[in-house]
């Protein structure tokens, strides 16, 4: 059975490291893996999405509506945008940051209120967290991605914590390893 | 060794393993990483050429000289390189030559959705099309063998979902090939009419031979399952078909997309009750099947526009798909924007403020067309800004010359802006051209170009002096402005539009994302002074928003460029 993880956010937020970590981890665990990224124009502050799929044999590199087991979002509006990709019993892990898109900045649109509550009301399992504060506690705002990875790790019983840490060591430069390990632990604890 | 590899990196690995010696490309999403990754192998000489035509001709020269070569580009790049492509088809090669071309169904980062397979058919050059990274690596190696066996360049067609997805590959060692002997052969390599006349039948015979090869080649395969429906497909569509049907459907998976087999398709068709063709963009396989007299379902059901997905195929094939959860709220779109601190912003604000008609071009600065700047009138293709301002001004005369501006980036200027500039100088229109020199090829992710002084590996290289170049072409009025200085931009635009001869303004400041660019501390808003007039919002900076009626600067995004500060009449924006 193929499992599907989506990473969504705003171009430049660091989803590439998150997908690199997941790819490495799942390959080490012996799965067939496909990871699909967006390059080019969307990276300039647009809405970006990365698809990670793993299982015995993976065909399509992308995830379609109603298929995602987990959606990891760096930002609330992006979580709401991609919610329709979630499976019925799937889960959204969302950093409760708000980044205004240009139509909101120019006043052509408004940023919807109470998105977390609305997503829950629509039937989604939402795990919202202040990932930015945890990242700052670990030592850098840039570690939001690893905080979120720590949280994701609690939803895959089939993958032991040591495997996550091993993949982290393989993907992060040594001088940032301690910081990222701390970010991972804080995210995993979820507080 | 098993590893997860990006499709484009797998092509690069294939180049390495197959003994490729020379690669010349122009960056373009989604093709760029092939050459960037190839440049990491010291055994392959790699370079960024000024444009795709040059790149293809460099690769041709290297192949004739006896080394396996490569050139890479995006789909629209092949339009630029079409001239040599059609004639290299006649000359053939000496050592193997691959032309990598990446299509962008869905237009994630492109100005059109053209289907490169037409070029393979029109130029009579074979084309292979992998469906994942493992095939990208394998097909690259096989393509060199085909290239040399049939004396032809080979097109390797990627698409966004194959180019930019990672899947598992097994790597092997490089074969080191000795350089092939080069022998002068005028009849083969000098394409004047008498020789070309003799080469054309060779091309036609080659196509016949390749069709015979296509019937039983390693690129195509049949996977028999249930025979009620037989699906013919290729590329990423194959993966979606397998996702929906698994081992259940009968599939003819085509990897050699030009020329297409005949007997293989007819035999497959005879084994199934109904034939369905699933291919993104145009009906290439479908039309081939129809020409063979087959009754097929294809574009009567599947769309010509946009990319496919597993759900789209399931729906069209009558398979149920799960619906996702939906919110009732309107979720505002999040289009790409010019980054905070982008040096293009100040110039676009100036052009908008002066009510200019702006002929745009291809690059990050195409984003100057979106709200609130709305500063671009026309964007078509690489280099078109400079050529079309000349036409615009010739049509409308001095009324237009005094308010129309062409904008083009440094890399795009090198690509195909220079010839347009020569036309302005030669045929004398009083046109004003702004070269937005951010010292890098921005949109594709920071590639060097002939104006930056560095090569693909980041080593020092030749550097073209834009001012000297424009002056040498005959422009007397060439001036440089800093786009962070709004007053200087305004003066420059007003003076050059008023001038009685053509001019070039070089708007120069490096891309704010370049590592060597020093980031200043974020600016702050003095809320006692801010009256919420929104003057600072006119530049469309993603770091500025209005919170509780006052301007607010996001300190994680702001790089302290100071453009907004120059707009604030109340001096409410200041250094922290």
Question: pLDDT tens, A35-65?
Answer: 998 776 666 788 889 999 999 999 999 999 9
Q: Tens digit of pLDDT for each residue in B251-296?
A: 999 999 999 999 999 999 999 999 999 999 999 999 999 999 999 9
Residue B474: how many other CB atoms lie within 10 Å: 14
More confident residue, B326 or A174: A174
- Cα–Cα distance, B468 to B451 (Å, whole number): 12
Q: Which residues of B touch A39 (CB under 8 A)?
A: 29-30, 32-33, 109, 164, 445
Q: Residue A41 has what pLDDT?
A: 65
Over residues B360-376, mean pLDDT: 94
- Cα–Cα distance, B448 to B162 (Å, whole number): 25
C-alpha atoms less than 13 angstroms from C-alpha of B475 in its C-beta half-sphere? 28
> What does pTM read for this prediction?
0.97
Q: Which residues of A touch B445 (CB under 8 A)?
A: 39-40, 43
Q: Do B2-177+187-214 and B523-575 have matching folds?
A: no
- Cα–Cα distance, A25 to B27 (Å, whole number): 31
Q: Which residues of A touch B324 (CB under 8 A)?
A: 65-66, 83-86
Start-to-end CA span in chain A (Å): 31
Q: Are B411 and B363 in contact (CB under 8 A)?
A: yes
Facing residue for A122 by CB, picked from B4, B325, B546? B325
- In the predicted model, what is the mean pLDDT of chain B? 97
The answer to whether A40 contacts B240, with C-beta atoms less than 8 Å apart, is: no
Q: Are B344 and B370 in contact (CB under 8 A)?
A: no
Band (pLDDT 50/70/90 cuts) for residue A191 is: low
The answer to whether A80 contacts B331, with C-beta atoms less than 8 Å apart, is: yes
Residue B556 has pLDDT above 90, yes or no: no
Q: Which residues of A touch B339 (CB under 8 A)?
A: 12, 44-45
Strand partners, B154: B98
- Cα–Cα distance, B160 to B257 (Å, whole number): 17
B-chain residue closest to A21, CA distance:
B4
Residue B208 has pLDDT above 70, yes or no: yes
- Cα–Cα distance, A120 to A80 (Å, whole number): 10
Looking at chain B from residue 1 to 20, which residues have their Cβ under 8 Å from any Cβ of chain A? 2-4, 6
- Pick from A64, A126, A144 the residue to mutate for testing the B interface (most B CBs within 10 Å): A64
Say what the ipTM of the complex is.
0.95
Facing residue for B329 by CB, picked from A46, A108, A118? A118
Q: Where are the domains of chain B?
A: 2-177+187-214, 221-316, 344-508, 523-575
Q: Residue A143 has what pLDDT?
A: 94
Count CB pairs under 8 A between chains A and B: 193
Return the DSSP state at A117.
H
Q: Tens digit of pLDDT for each residue in B99-143?
A: 999 999 999 989 999 999 999 999 999 999 999 999 999 999 999
Looking at chain B from residue 366 to 425, which residues have their Cβ under 8 Å from any Cβ of chain A? 367, 370-372
Q: Tens digit of pLDDT for each residue in B439-492?
A: 999 999 999 999 999 999 999 999 999 999 999 999 999 999 999 999 999 999
Q: Is B187 on the interface with A (CB under 8 A)?
A: no
Count how many residues are written for chain B. 576
C-alpha atoms less than 13 angstroms from C-alpha of B44 in its C-beta half-sphere? 32
B-chain residue closest to A79, CA distance:
B331
Residue B219 has pLDDT above 60, yes or no: yes
Query: Domains in chain A and their CATH numbers?
Result: 3-189 (3.40.920.10)
Q: Residue A86 has what pLDDT?
A: 96
Q: Are B25 and B49 in contact (CB under 8 A)?
A: yes
The answer to whether A39 contacts B167, with C-beta atoms less than 8 Å apart, is: no
- Cα–Cα distance, B445 to B497 (Å, whole number): 33
The answer to whether A102 contacts B166, with C-beta atoms less than 8 Å apart, is: no
Over residues B158-163, mean pLDDT: 98
CATH for B523-575, options being 1.10.3720.10, 3.50.50.60, 2.60.120.560, 3.30.70.20? 3.30.70.20
- Pick from B240, B245, B329 the residue to mutate for testing the A interface (most A CBs within 10 Å): B329
Strand partners, A86: A68
Q: Is B573 exposed, middle or buried (0-12, 13-18, 19+ CB in 10 A)?
A: buried
Q: Residue B145 has what pLDDT?
A: 98
CATH 3.40.50.970 for domain B344-508, yes or no, is: yes
Q: Distance of alpha carbon B42 from its chain centroid, rounded?
A: 25
Q: Tens digit of pLDDT for each residue in B446-459?
A: 999 999 999 999 99
Q: Is B343 on the interface with A (CB under 8 A)?
A: no
Over residues B378-393, mean pLDDT: 98
- Cα–Cα distance, B376 to B131 (Å, whole number): 38
Q: Which residues of A touch B322 (CB under 8 A)?
A: 65-67, 87-88
Q: Which residues of B touch A50 (CB under 8 A)?
A: none
Q: For B230-233, which contacts have Cβ atoms below 8 Å and span 24 or more sequence positions?
A: B230/B268, B230/B269, B230/B271, B230/B272, B230/B273, B230/B274, B230/B275, B230/B276, B231/B276, B231/B277, B231/B278, B232/B265, B232/B268, B232/B275, B232/B276, B232/B277, B232/B278, B232/B285, B232/B289, B233/B277, B233/B278, B233/B279, B233/B285
Residue A180 has pLDDT above 70, yes or no: yes
Query: Domain B2-177+187-214: which CATH class?
Result: alpha beta
Over residues B324-334, mean pLDDT: 89
What is the torsion angle, in degrees rounded to the nearest 10, for the CA atoms of residue B2, residue A9, residue A76 and residue B321?
-60
DSSP reduced 3-state for B498: helix
B-chain residue closest to A110, CA distance:
B332
The answer to whether A62 contacts B30, with C-beta atoms less than 8 Å apart, is: no
Q: Tens digit of pLDDT for each residue in B395-404?
A: 999 999 999 9
Residue A105 has pLDDT above 90, yes or no: no
Residue B309: how many other CB atoms lie within 10 Å: 23
Q: Residue A40 has what pLDDT?
A: 66
CATH 3.40.50.920 for domain B221-316, yes or no, is: yes
The answer to whether B540 contacts A77, with C-beta atoms less than 8 Å apart, is: no
Q: Residue A14 has what pLDDT?
A: 80
């Amino acid at each position: 059975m193929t499992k599907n993880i989506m990473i969504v956010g705003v171009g430049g937020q660091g989803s590439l490291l998150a997908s690199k970590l997941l790819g490495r981890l799942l390959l080490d665990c012996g799965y067939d893996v496909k990871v699909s990224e967006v390059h080019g124009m969307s990276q300039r502050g647009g809405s970006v999405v990365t698809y990670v799929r793993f299982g015995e044999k993976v065909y399509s590199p992308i995830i379609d509506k109603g298929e995602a087991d987990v959606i990891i979002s760096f930002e609330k509006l992006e979580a709401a945008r991609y919610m329709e990709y979630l499976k019925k019993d799937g889960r959204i892990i969302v950093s409760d940051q708000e980044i205004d898109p240009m139509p909101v900045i120019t006043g052509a649109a408004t940023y919807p209120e109470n998105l977390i509550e609305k997503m829950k009301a629509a039937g989604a399992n939402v795990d919202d967290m202040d990932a930015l504060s945890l990242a700052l506690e670990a030592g850098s705002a840039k570690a939001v991605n690893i905080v979120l990875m720590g949280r994701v790790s609690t939803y895959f019983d089939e993958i032991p914590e040591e495997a996550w840490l091993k993949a982290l060591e393989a993907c992060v430069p040594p001088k940032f390893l301690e910081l990222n390990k701390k970010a991972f632990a804080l995210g995993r604890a979820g507080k | 060794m098993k590893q997860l590899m990006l499709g484009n990196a797998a092509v690069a690995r294939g180049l390495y393993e197959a003994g490729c010696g020379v690669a010349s490309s122009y960056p373009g999403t989604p093709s760029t990483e092939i050459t960037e990754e190839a440049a990491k192998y010291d055994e392959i000489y790699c370079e960024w050429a000024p444009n795709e035509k040059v790149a293809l001709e460099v690769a041709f020269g290297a192949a004739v000289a006896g080394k396996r070569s490569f050139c890479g580009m995006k789909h629209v790049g092949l339009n630029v390189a079409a001239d040599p492509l059609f004639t290299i088809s006649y000359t053939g090669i000496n050592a193997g030559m691959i032309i990598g071309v990446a299509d962008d169904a869905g237009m994630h980062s492109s100005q059109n959705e053209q289907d490169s397979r037409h070029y393979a058919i029109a130029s009579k050059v074979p084309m292979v099309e992998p469906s994942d990274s493992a095939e990208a690596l394998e097909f690259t190696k096989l393509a060199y063998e085909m290239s040399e066996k049939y004396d032809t360049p080979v097109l390797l067609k990627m698409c966004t979902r194959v180019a930019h997805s990672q899947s598992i590959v097994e790597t092997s060692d490089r074969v080191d090939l000795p350089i092939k002997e080069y022998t002068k052969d005028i009849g083969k390599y000098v394409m004047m009419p008498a020789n070309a006349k003799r080469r054309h039948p060779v091309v036609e015979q080659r196509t016949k031979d390749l069709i015979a090869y296509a019937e039983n080649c390693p690129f195509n395969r049949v996977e028999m399952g249930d025979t009620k429906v037989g699906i013919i497909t290729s590329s990423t569509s194959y993966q979606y078909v397998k996702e929906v049907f698994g081992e259940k459907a009968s599939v003819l998976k085509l990897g050699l997309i030009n020329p297409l087999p005949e007997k293989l398709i007819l035999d497959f068709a005879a084994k199934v009750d109904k034939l369905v063709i699933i291919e993104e963009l145009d009906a290439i396989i479908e039309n081939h099947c129809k020409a063979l007299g087959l009754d097929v379902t294809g574009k009567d059901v599947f769309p010509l526009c946009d990319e496919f997905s597993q759900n789209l195929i399931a729906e069209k094939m009558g398979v149920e798909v799960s619906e996702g959860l939906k919110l009732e709220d309107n979720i505002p779109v999040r289009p790409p924007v010019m980054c905070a601190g982008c040096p293009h912003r100040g110039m676009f604000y100036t052009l908008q403020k002066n009510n200019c008609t702006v002929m745009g071009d291809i690059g990050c600065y195409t984003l100057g067309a979106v709200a609130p700047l709305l500063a671009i009138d026309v964007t078509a293709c690489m280099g078109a800004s400079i050529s079309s301002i000349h036409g615009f001004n010739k049509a409308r005369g001095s009324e237009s010359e005094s308010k129309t501006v062409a904008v083009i980036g440094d890399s795009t200027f090198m690509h195909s802006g220079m010839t347009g500039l020569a036309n302005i100088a030669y045929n004398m229109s009083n046109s004003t051209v702004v070269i937005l020199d951010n010292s890098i090829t921005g949109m594709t992710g920071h590639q060097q170009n002939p104006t930056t002084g560095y090569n693909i590996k980041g080593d020092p290289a030749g550097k073209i002096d834009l001012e000297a170049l424009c002056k040498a072409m005959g422009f007397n009025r060439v001036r440089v402005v800093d786009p962070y200085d709004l007053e200087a931009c305004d003066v420059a635009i007003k003076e050059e539009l008023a001038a009685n001869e053509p001019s070039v303004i070089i708007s120069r400041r490096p891309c704010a994302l370049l590592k060597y660019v020093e980031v200043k501390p974020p600016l702050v808003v003095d809320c006692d002074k801010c009256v919420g007039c929104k003057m600072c919002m006119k530049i469309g900076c993603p770091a500025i928003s209005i919170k509780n009626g006052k301007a607010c600067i996001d300190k994680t995004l702001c790089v302290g460029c100071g453009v907004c500060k120059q707009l604030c009449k109340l001096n409410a924006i200041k250094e922290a």
